[in-house]
Chain A
Amino acid sequence: MTGFLQNTFNGLVSGAFYALLALGLAVIFGMLRVVNFAHGAFYMLGAFGAYVLLTEAGVPFWAALVIMPVGLALLGMALERAFVHRLTRLDPLYNFLLTFGLTLILQDLVKLRYGVQSSPYETPSALNGSVDFGLFDFPTYRVFILGFAVAVCVGVWWVLTRTRVGMVVRACTERPELTRAFGIDVGRWVTPVFGFGIGLAGLAGVLAAPMRAVNPLMGADLIIVVFAVVVIGGLGSIFGSVAAGFGIGLVQAWGEAYLSDFPIISQTIVFIVMAVVLLWRPAGLFGREEAPA
């Protein structure tokens, strides 16, 4: 029982990263119809930024947790204005190539300066201990990540469903043409939403720095699973991406724990789930079939 709870907890912690990344991808896809391949690179920049801030300027984790997402959001907005924006009217493949190219450039720039060897980043001292849950104890930092990620997801959900800004963004996301017909300037919202998605990726990166290897390829490894998560949740579905994020984290953890005698299954379980979901619901668990235009 204790083991099951621990594995569940761990699954949720991994899931928290998937959820934060998938949420960003989902809002970007919803608003711009752009599959942002560079999402993993921004996650990596978040972690690296935290490392650079700490070693070069002595900026602690807590400050980095604010500085990096905001800084990357601004960078994201600049990139949207400079490049992504110009290609949204063309075949989606163009933006696909653009963001893929951006990934390679960002990765290699970091590689050039810091090499491929992972860089050290310590857990902030306030979160270094462990929390006793009676049946088992758990690293404080992991508890913090889980709580923080849930808070961010709930916050985003609240903004999107309960505020006027959120209403406009949701309308722009789901029915851009119709929203435009109501006299709302959809274009004005595109850049901030892109920046916001990138900021979430940066935030996940900073959170990952103390517990994952910080190196130029850390995002490239993770992003493949995150794409599967987004597809399972339903492309563009905000709730779906978060739910699928946590769900996949759980499935992976349970798979590793209880299917360890079948490594082939436990290694590919995410994609097995994806295939099954797509057969059953081609638009993903919470996605809506595109109405014929």
Chain B
Amino acid sequence: MRRTVGVTAASAAMVVLVAGCGGGGPQSGGDGKLTGGSIVLGVLNDQSGAYSELSGRNSVKAVEMAIADFKAKYGDKAIAEDITVETADHQNKPDVASSKAQEMYDRKSVDIILDVPTSSAALKVADVAKEKKKLYFNIGAATTDLTGKSCNKYTFHYAYDTYMLANGTGKTTTEQVGKNWYILYPNYAFGQDMEKSFSTAITAAGGKVVGSDGAPFPNTSGDFSTFLLKAPTLNPKPDVLGTMQAGAELVNVVKQYNEFKLREKGVGLAVGLMFITDIHSLTPAALAGTTYTDAWYWNFDQQNRAFADRFQSETGTRPSFAHAANYSAATQYLEAVQAAGTDDADTVVKGLEGKEVDDVFLRNGKIRAEDHRVIHDAYLAQVKPQSEVAEPWDYVKVLKTIPAAEAFRAPSPDCKL
């Protein structure tokens, strides 16, 4: 028995040795423009927890679709034949995210890290990218610090941020639904950030925040009724309840909002951050009439729909905006490497800065050189009543396109690249 183990181990070692010589040597020698002769895209996100449905494994699928399309487009002329995806689960924990990111850059020879939802984890990965001088496109996280005080040369913020959400929803709702707001937010970094962004946007649009409360986070009792009951008793009575909760907590707030019939009592609902998967959980009936800001919607036009159809045939579900953004980010990175003729991070960054892009996700997109915010059109969306839902996942109508220049904040003076 012991002999067999020894022999197996020895032959395994031999195989590794041979592979090392045959694979690594000639390729990296023959084509010095790519590290290791290949391009490796790393998708680092939540694959088992609260955000695994809106990003998770389907983000990996989206990146794989981008690679397939890139290869099909360039064929023999593609800069690399060998383009692969590495993936890891950061469990929404900043320390796990940080060590996985280091492992990806150092040991898995990853050229770029994509996705990374959860703001606290996203900021940690930005630090790693800066230290390793490797690229990082954040898609899943909301914090404006990525393009503010924590910005760096190698980090790009791709899909959305708290400013975009507050600006779209806060401003439009104040103008169209009512001026007085009651804000309910989860009492941690993301919620506090959202509360601030919304208050600013509401006040700027001539509205008023008559009350705002931080609910316990995580809310172990699952009950928000104290806050929901308080809303209609405030003076002046709020026209809008703005909830900043996300995921399962959002589901609880909305269920209980309906239970207490706040809409009938004249308090409308606005949601800070919502994904199509949340509407699916709650059913459109529970949210009918609710407005929110969306970074992308699968059934917006023919181009989006075509992508969504392909995505559905691969995954069995419709894409969230994060999935589409992952596809777009992977595509734009590969295009940039192709154009630069190398995967050297500094060269690629130079090519990306200031570039104007139009693709399935980025409409009127531009990669801002000042702070690496990727700006693009955003959408003010409203959940349809059940009677207007024509097919599964067709939950939203787009009320208004918010032009790229207005959707995002001006480059922050805090950011020094």
Contact = CB atoms under 8 A, between A and B. Distances in A.
Do they bind each other?
A: yes
A263 B216 contact: yes
A10 B222 contact: no
Interface stretch (B2-10, B48-56, B103-111): B48-56
A6 B229 contact: yes
Contact of A120 (B52, B214, B261, B281): B281
B261 to A, nearest CB: 6
Interface in A244-258: 249, 252-253, 256-257
A266 B52 CA distance: 30
B259 A123 contact: yes
A224 interface: yes
B225 A10 contact: yes
Nearest to A253: B226
B53 A252 contact: no
B281 A139 contact: no
Given A6-B229, A211-B256, A117 B221 contact: no
Given A116-B49, A263-B216, A252 B221 contact: yes
Contact of A115 (B52, B217, B225, B230): B52
Looking at B221, B261, B277, which has the most chain A CB atoms within 10 Å of its CB?
Answer: B221
A148 B229 CA distance: 23
A217 interface: yes
A119 interface: yes
Contacts, number: 100
B286 A225 contact: no
Interface string A207-232: 01011110101100110110000000
Contact of A118 (B49, B213, B227, B251): B251
Nearest to A117: B53
B218 interface: yes
B35 interface: no
A186 to B, nearest CB: 35
Looking at B49, B213, B260, which has the most chain A CB atoms within 10 Å of its CB?
Answer: B260
A3 interface: yes
A84 to B, nearest CB: 26
Contact of B248 (A10, A215, A256, A263): A215
Looking at A118, A142, A253, A256, which has the most chain B CB atoms within 10 Å of its CB?
Answer: A118
B221 A225 contact: yes
A7 interface: yes
A36 interface: no
Q: How large is the interface on B (under 10, 10 to 19, 20 to 34, 35 or more residues)?
A: 35 or more
Nearest to B213: A260
B282 interface: yes
Given A117-B277, A211-B255, A213-B222, A257 B52 contact: no
A130 B261 contact: yes
A249 B221 CA distance: 9
Nearest to A10: B225
B350 to A, nearest CB: 40
Contact of B187 (A119, A253, A263, A270): A263
B248 A218 contact: yes
Interface in B218-256: 218-223, 225-227, 229-230, 233, 247-249, 251-252, 255-256
19 contacts: A10-B223, A14-B221, A116-B50, A117-B277, A117-B278, A117-B280, A118-B281, A118-B282, A120-B283, A139-B260, A211-B259, A213-B249, A222-B220, A249-B221, A253-B225, A257-B230, A260-B213, A263-B216, A267-B217
Closest 3 CB pairs of A and B: A213-B251, A267-B216, A256-B226
